[in-house]
Structure 1
Amino acid sequence: MSIFTSHTPELFRRTTVQVQNRGAENDSGAGTRDSTLIPDYVVNFIRGETPETVARRKQNGGNQGMRAVDITHQHRHQRSHMALLENANENENDARRAYDAQSNFTWSSTMTQLQQMLPWSNEKPGTRRRLMTGWRFGVFVNILLLIVVFITGFICAVYAGSKVPISTGEMDLFTGSCRVATSIDLGLHALINVFVMILIVGASYIFQVLSSPTRSEVSRAHDGKHWLEIGVPSVRNFGHIGKLRAGLAIALLTVAVATQIMYNSIIFTSQPEVSYNLIVVSESFFSGWVFSNTSSNNEGGLTRKEILELGNLASHNELTNLTTSECIGIFKGAFNTDFRNVLLVLDTLGSENSLVATAQAGIDGNKLQAGNDMSISINNNQLFFDGTPVGFCLAQHSETSEEICTVQLSIFLFVAVLALNLITLLIAASTLVLQRFEPLVTLGDAITSFLRDPDPTTRTNCLLTKQNLRTGMGGWGFSEGKYWTPKRDHMWFRSPSLVNWTVAGSWWLTSTGLVLAALAITVGSQPSSQPLSPFGVASPHTTYLLPLSASATIPAGALAVATAIPQILLAGLYFSTNALLTSYFLSRESSLYAILDDGAGRPLRVSADPEGRQTTSLYLTLPRPVSWALAVLFTSMGLVLSQAFFVVPLSPTDITQSPQQQHHVLGVGLSGVALVVLLAMLVILLLVILGMGFLKAPSAATCDGRAVGNPLVFEGGSCSAVISARCHRVPWEADVWKQRVGWGAVPEMPGAVISHATYSARSLTELDGTRRYA
């Protein structure tokens, strides 16, 4: 019987003590080199054998297990094609001895070696210990962070409710200098985006756990010739995992994205709009010509004293002389905050009255309005009043030394955010209480499971690839052996699937396209002297107002939610980028087991309940430094995006009108500087992803005298069938998954035609391009 067809994990030991071969590999350290030999009766006692079982084992040629019954291998009838082709000796002892001889391994050992041979304790760790290791501890940490975010928000909501009734909808957090208000707004949005990223990263972590299959789910999928994804966040698995977990995972992502939008909508800053007087005069006004301020030409209601004062200021050059483009810019802007009086000087001397018209300039919902009946037009970069060209403009600056802005909080949206935070917290907590949930989250989980209980659907196909499964050639049920002849090094960009690249590329292109379109609009709206509007501040030329009727019916918070919708693009881009990077590092982690230079092997990194030399970690597949860097980048991008698209509530400051008569207008503001910064971040993200994609996987084989290729990389994404095909261990390596392992060709019996490669704690060799492996 071939050594590769049995699944029994029993240990075999010769009944006589042998002196260890001097050339044999000793991986037990220097401390065991001087150890004394251990008598057989001590070994038998440690193994729990009695003289009767020892005698029975000797009578059966060593094939009887430690129990008083003969072991019948469950899959004995499924003989390996490799064994049939080689006419292998049916005696398992011969196969074992051949394996021992070629691997420089003897079954006599020191105490340290004996402890490595004997099964590790199968005692399950307690609930507290399980909660403090692996993915459970990672979920627990995320729950603690979610609790901190929720409690912080709850305290703020209670404080806000104590100051103003929740029914008012909005609360003024600060009223004062616009410069200070802008800084407060920026700081609050920075804190908000830190909270948002905690939620997004936590949701991504828990989503990967929930979407990871269990071994029974993988087995059912393989029985139906379907493969699942292990070690990466996966939507593909939803059709094969529990419906409850799939529903929780979908709900978690949906709530996380909704939270990102809502959180970036709760804070906004109202912008003052200065009402100003618009006076149209002829050039004779400055020569002392008479004027009349009767109601027919003085709809602005200026007194004779105010008009004379303007003429006096103009004669003393105390008014600001505006160029034609600057004057046009005032009328093209959505609001004015700089001037209280603007004089339009016509290119005509006039006949009887040098004061042509006055008006109160205000907002009509789209642009500044020059009075009820005042007709001002712009044609070919020339300003006209009632068909008469305007020669130049003079303006008087506002007396207000500093603009007054108000930072506001939408209480309704804040309460909605707290509700979403609570839902996220409940979903995260439910993950820990799922009964009998043992997901294969990491690569080490899958390898451990398949080494402990090999998958019969991928037997004798250790070089199975994802392409084999797609094409049907060399896939399910293939057992004739394959050659492995790498022709090129594996670049990281080949590790993710085409679907991963397509999804991530779509999110990136959509995000970049939106930023470019918005940037083109802002540059086209701004004056040529200042092509980019300031960072996070409403500019008259890049603020687009709603009609007055819409502003009267739409709450500022609702428009804030609409302006935060582009945050969906960042959320989608984060999840898809995280999936790409996870595929990169999953393939890298797998490839390291094929590096046999040091011969020491590597421990399996599992997501829970490590045994023997296994290790565990808080991260699942993506290393913490990479995950943190990605989180910092997207936190910054979320902050910049909140300053690039924002709601602009305008509060007119007309002292001649009561607050009830004043119109509060809403608009959407764009920041050119913020858009440029966001575009630069998107380009940096693209360059980093592509740059990492051209890294090479470590070579594990030689071709034409040079190192090239690695048999353990993933081409086209994670695949449970590929992993299981690599994990058909030799039968007498009991509990090999608890030791440091490598992956390579196991020593074969003389005359074998087809070889085998698997994970092993013993000596392995690189794959030979001239041999077939199954």
Structure 2
Amino acid sequence: MRNASSHETEYSLLESTSNIELPTVHPSCQKRDDDGNFSKPLPTRPSWKAIGLADLRDGWRFSASLGVLLALCVLLLNIALTIWGAVRSSANNGHIYHGNCKTAKQINTGIHVIINVLSTLLLGASNYCMQCLCAPNRRDIDVAHREGRWLDVGVQSLRNLAYITPYKRWIWLLLGLSSLPLHLLFNSIFYSTLVNHDYDIYFASEDWLQGAWFDTHGLAAGGIHSMEYKSDPALFQSGVMNDDGSRFERLDVTECINAYANPYLSDRSNVALISKFMYNDTRIAQYYSFWDVASNSSLFRVMYSHDTAQPLYNYRDPYGWICDHYEGLSTGCRKEEGLTQAAKSNWTVMGYKVTGCVSQKVDELCSVNFTLAIGIVVILANVGKLICIVAVCFLLTDQPLLTLGDAVTSFLRSPDRFTKGICLWGKDDDRKHWRMLRHTGDVPAPRRFESKIQRRWRVAGKQSWAGFLFLYSTALLIALCLAIYGINKLKKYGQGSFSAIANLGIGTATTNTVIGGDGWHVAKSGNGAILANSLIANTPQLILSGVYLSLNNLLTRMQLAAEWSSYSVQRKALRVSHDRTGAQRGTYFLQLPYRLGLPLMAISATLHWLVSQSIFLASIDTWDSAGKPYVRESVATCGYSPLAIILTIIVGTVIVLFAIFVGMRRLEGAGMPVVGSHSVGIAAACHPPKDGGDENERLMWGEVNENIVEGGAQTVGHCSFASSVADVPVGGRMYA
């Protein structure tokens, strides 16, 4: 005799406390007598009853309550992180750190590791609750079967949304929408800034570096050349004379070109080009006639570098002077052009033949910045998730069929009358035939049992595989395009080798790994630029989440099939998510076991972190040639890390190969109908004999001594889950 608590209603709707009514009692809440008929209904739990702490001790509610604690902890950490960032940045001109680039990189990397761990945990709890919400209860399945349709059991499915209550559907939608800010903005709360240095170019003789006299009166320019040099030639000269080798470096022509043929300079500033007074180009003489220095001056000319950050504004060539382009107004100067001249000992700049240079070295400066507005948006999304998870845990009072064990338990207690006589029905059977069968009421014909080996990949279905491979291919294509773009750009600056790429590290923008130029039509400054570049940098996070969810769905379906087929080879207890009785096994996970689910979550966190280090929000502060910051705002853009992109591709490919490996494994047994998550197939396999359908005992699927019809040329048998004897079906025999 089953106790009343084991027969609580399997569905209930959240109702107001006014006009309280008990819901209609489902057959699953009734006892069967010895003849298999239903007797008086057992008491049901009213849908308005509050969930107590005792209800949280076991099953899916226990895991959901852990999700509440997890979401609360993540919220508190997010608030603490936001307060720390706001206080730290307000006391340091908007930076939480400003100084050595190595230290800034370590801080930035550590913060993003924390961010991606927190977001993975929060999204994991959210996905768990979303699956609980879209899981059907028995009433939902009965309604669908009555209409000739079917629902999914054990997997998160959009199909089920049409049958669950509006309350559950709205919470499911809110949980999904609250994930968008986490994907698109979370990683941009903290971002790095690098300092780019403008520089002045001195044309001087070797004597000038030794302290020779120079004329300063004819160096200033006016009119269209009003952007005068900002450094002090006398300070540069004295600095070279008194330097111990730490601040000024002498370079040959090739080294000089390699050092300055870069769009941005982080570790160098002003440069003195050593030349003989060789002013024999009439074109140059015409353009630069506004300079009028004394003929015996050891300093011939000073030229402003024209703001090396300007490529981000889509105009000017920052090192056009290397190719002897007039003031950099011509574009397209390539380093190779200057190196070709250098190889011929004929590097000429503005009419001066250069024999070498002296470069002023500066400390690399980087900072880690904090964005309060994004931090607040993320906190609000976190609060929204917490409220929704609390609602799932404490206000959802029906009993969803979350696992195969839940569904089998329900169908054994109360067999589904719509699926009687189709015990070999599988997921690949014609759905139109099922719908027509339901509407016409025809008696289904018996089917012949065929013993054949099935592999897991077939069970997942073509749509699941197609969706996963499409999303993965999209992500791979984007990653490859960005990697090719980045490597080709680095090759232009002589950093395209693997060792050079490895030395750049991951997650930190350098002067050669920021996106800009004529093809980058995105806001460059202000809050709008921060938001626009944040969305661009984090869009791959959204794509990656789609890949993860489709992979999770794929592995879940294959694991579902493995669990299902195992009942055809050994007798075992059902794994249920609530109301465990008898030999039944309780579970805290839904379908993927911890040995698979936890590593998958860890890999997901790793991939999200790698993607956050592959392309990311970055900004550039430009300092003038006198070593002072420009008053204007920082230039916002996206930085990228080729090494992180390569690692992302490798890890992603390994995951795909793992999924294929799992898919190639065989299912246990041979011949048990593969139903996947198909509610019709599950129900069809749950029509037990009168004395062998105790769901509380250890069960096995097979041929049962029920409805055996002998006569003529064939014998018609019946297969079902049963607690009594269940034999291996006979190949070639008809079953119904």
- Note if 1:239 corresponds to 2:159: no
Separation in 2, partners of 1:628, 1:164:
36
Look up the SS of the partner of 1:756 in the other structure: strand
Contact 2:249 2:361 in 1 (8 A): no
Look up the SS of the partner of 1:718 in the other structure: coil
Q: Please name the residue that 2:719 is paired with.
A: 757
Note the alpha carbon deviations across 1:251-282, whole angstroms, 9 max, x for none. 21221232132221101122122332222457
Unaligned runs of 5+ residues in structure 1 are 1-8, 11-66, 76-120, 700-708
Alignment of 1:276-425 (within 5 A): 276-281=199-204, 292-296=215-219, 299-300=228-229, 303=232, 305-306=234-235, 308=237, 319-322=249-252, 324=254, 327=257, 330-333=260-263, 335-344=264-273, 349-350=278-279, 355-361=299-305, 362-366=307-311, 369=318, 374-375=327-328, 378=333, 381-383=336-338, 393-400=356-363, 403-425=364-386
Note the alpha carbon deviations across 1:163-187, whole angstroms, 9 max, x for none. 677xx99843223322111111111
Separation in 2, partners of 1:228, 1:493:
21
One-letter code of the match for 1:729?
A: P
CA shift at 1:496, angstroms?
1.2
Q: Please name the residue that 1:148 is paired with.
A: 73
- Note if 1:730 corresponds to 2:689: yes
Look up the SS of the partner of 1:737 in the other structure: coil
CA shift at 1:629, angstroms?
0.6
Contact 1:267 1:407 in 2 (8 A): yes
Residues 395, 389 of structure 1: alpha-carbon distance in 2 compared, 3 angstrom cutoff:
same
Q: Which of 730, 741, 746 pairs up with 2:699?
A: 741
CA shift at 1:432, angstroms?
2.4
Contact 1:698 1:710 in 2 (8 A): no
The more displaced of 391-400 and 409-418 is 391-400
Separation in 2, partners of 1:557, 1:148:
27
Look up the SS of the partner of 2:460 in the other structure: coil
Look up the SS of the partner of 2:424 in the other structure: coil
Separation in 1, partners of 2:98, 2:335:
42
One-letter code of the match for 1:504?
A: F
Contact 1:297 1:357 in 2 (8 A): no
One-letter code of the match for 1:463?
A: L
Q: Please name the residue that 1:454 is paired with.
A: 415
Note the alpha carbon deviations across 1:497-547, whole angstroms, 9 max, x for none. 222112211221111111111100110111344442431221222212479
Note the alpha carbon deviations across 1:320-379, whole angstroms, 9 max, x for none. 32554862563332x212222223457983365775532343334316746997247625
Q: Please name the residue that 1:491 is paired with.
A: 455
Task: Determine which structure has more spread, i.e. the larger CA radius of gyration.
Answer: 1
Separation in 2, partners of 1:677, 1:627:
22
Contact 2:464 2:550 in 1 (8 A): yes
One-letter code of the match for 2:479?
A: V
One-letter code of the match for 2:272?
A: L
One-letter code of the match for 1:183?
A: Q
The more displaced of 545-554 and 641-650 is 545-554
CA shift at 1:250, angstroms?
2.2
Note the alpha carbon deviations across 1:289-319, whole angstroms, 9 max, x for none. 98644444774255553565588699x9973
Residues 123, 216 of structure 1: alpha-carbon distance in 2 compared, 3 angstrom cutoff:
closer
Note the alpha carbon deviations across 1:544-603, whole angstroms, 9 max, x for none. 24799832564546533432222101111111111111101100110110004xxxx211
The more displaced of 578-587 and 470-479 is 470-479
Alignment of 1:643-722 (within 5 A): 643-654=613-624, 656=626, 661-699=631-669, 709-714=670-675, 717-722=676-681
Separation in 1, partners of 2:352, 2:477:
41
- Note if 1:591 corresponds to 2:565: yes
Separation in 2, partners of 1:742, 1:549:
64
Q: What is the count of residue pairs matched by the alignment?
A: 642
Alignment of 1:26-425 (within 5 A): 73=37, 127-160=52-85, 171-281=94-204, 292-296=215-219, 299-300=228-229, 303=232, 305-306=234-235, 308=237, 319-322=249-252, 324=254, 327=257, 330-333=260-263, 335-344=264-273, 349-350=278-279, 355-361=299-305, 362-366=307-311, 369=318, 374-375=327-328, 378=333, 381-383=336-338, 393-400=356-363, 403-425=364-386
Residues 621, 307 of structure 1: alpha-carbon distance in 2 compared, 3 angstrom cutoff:
closer
Note the alpha carbon deviations across 1:77-133, whole angstroms, 9 max, x for none. xxxxxxxxxxxxxxxxxxxxxxxxxxxxxxxxxxxxxxxxxxxx9998994443211
Separation in 2, partners of 1:390, 1:547:
39
Separation in 2, partners of 1:438, 1:466:
25
Separation in 2, partners of 1:396, 1:380:
18
Residues 678, 323 of structure 1: alpha-carbon distance in 2 compared, 3 angstrom cutoff:
farther
Q: Please name the residue that 1:568 is paired with.
A: 542
Separation in 2, partners of 1:586, 1:208:
15
Q: Which of 500, 505, 508 pairs up with 1:534?
A: 505
One-letter code of the match for 2:176?
A: L
Q: TM (normalized to structure 1)?
A: 0.75
Q: Please name the residue that 2:17 is paired with.
A: none
Note the alpha carbon deviations across 1:199-257, whole angstroms, 9 max, x for none. 11111111111111111110111111111110011112112222221222122122123
Note the alpha carbon deviations across 1:142-161, whole angstroms, 9 max, x for none. 11111111122223434555
Q: Please name the residue that 1:481 is paired with.
A: 446
Separation in 1, partners of 2:236, 2:709:
113
Look up the SS of the partner of 1:382 in the other structure: helix
Q: Alignment RMSD, CA only?
A: 3.7
Look up the SS of the partner of 1:738 in the other structure: coil
Residues 149, 660 of structure 1: alpha-carbon distance in 2 compared, 3 angstrom cutoff:
same
Separation in 2, partners of 1:449, 1:502:
32
